[in-house]
Structure 1
C-alpha cells in the first residue's frame, strides 16, 4: 500500500512539474513500465526504502513468506497432535489405576465389619440431615402460607 502511495505521489508531482520531469535521468532509463527499476542511490534513504518495499512486495517473496508461515503453523499443529495422542495413550493407565485402587478399597471395606458399620452410619446421618431440612422447609412453608392466604382474601 505504501509503495502504491509513493508511486501515486510521484506521478502527481511529475504531472504538476512537466519541466522538472523532462530533465530527470530516471525517465531516460524507464521507457517501459515492466522494465522500470531504479537502482538505489548510496546516500538516499527514500530510494533504499523504495527498493526494499519493491523487494518485499514481489510475488515470489510474498509466496515464500506465506509458505514459511504455513510450515510453522503445520509444525505447531503436529506437535499439539502428538502431545494429545501421548496424553490419550497414557490416560487409560491412570483410569485403570484409579479403578483398581477403588476396587481394592471396596474389597477391604467389604471384608472389614468396622468399615461397613462406619459407611452405614454415614449414610444414616446424611439421610437424617436431609429429613430435618425437609421438615424445616415444610414448616417454614406452612408458616408463610397463612400470611399469603390472608393477603389473597
Structure 2
C-alpha cells in the first residue's frame, strides 16, 4: 500500500457503497440482540452488548434520511472506535452488507456536489471511484454532531 492511499472498509446502505477508514473499525458482527433506549435520538436508538460492554447502535440509514429496514442474512454491525468530545467511544453501525477492506486514494476523492445527491452534502466527506464504482465516504463527525442528539446518547469507553 502506498503512502498516498487509505485503507477503507466498504459496505452497502440502500444499494449504495460506502466506506469507513479501516483504522476506526474494531470488528464486524452479525446482527445481535438490541435493547431500545426510550427517548434516544432516532439515529442512535438502541444499545448492544459488545464483549461485555454496552455500546450505542447507530443507524446511518436514518442519518441519511433513508427508510429503516429489518436486518436480513447480509446485514452486519460494524463496531468502530471513534473519538467524540475527546473520548474514544465504541459505536455499532448498522449496515446492509459488508464487502471488503480496500484502498482509495484521498487525492482522487471529490467533494460531494451541492445538488443532485439524495443525501445531505455536509454528511459526505467525499466521493471516490474504484473500478468504475462510486464510493461514498461519510463524514462521521458531522453526522454524530448533527444526528447524534445529546452527548449522552453515546457512551465513552472509559465509562462503559
Shorter-chain TM-score tier: under 0.3
Give the structure with the larger helix fraction. 1
TM-score (norm 2): 0.16
**RCO comparison, higher one (Cα < 8 Å, 6+):** 2
Q: Which has the higher strand share?
A: 2
Q: Which has the larger radius of gyration?
A: 1
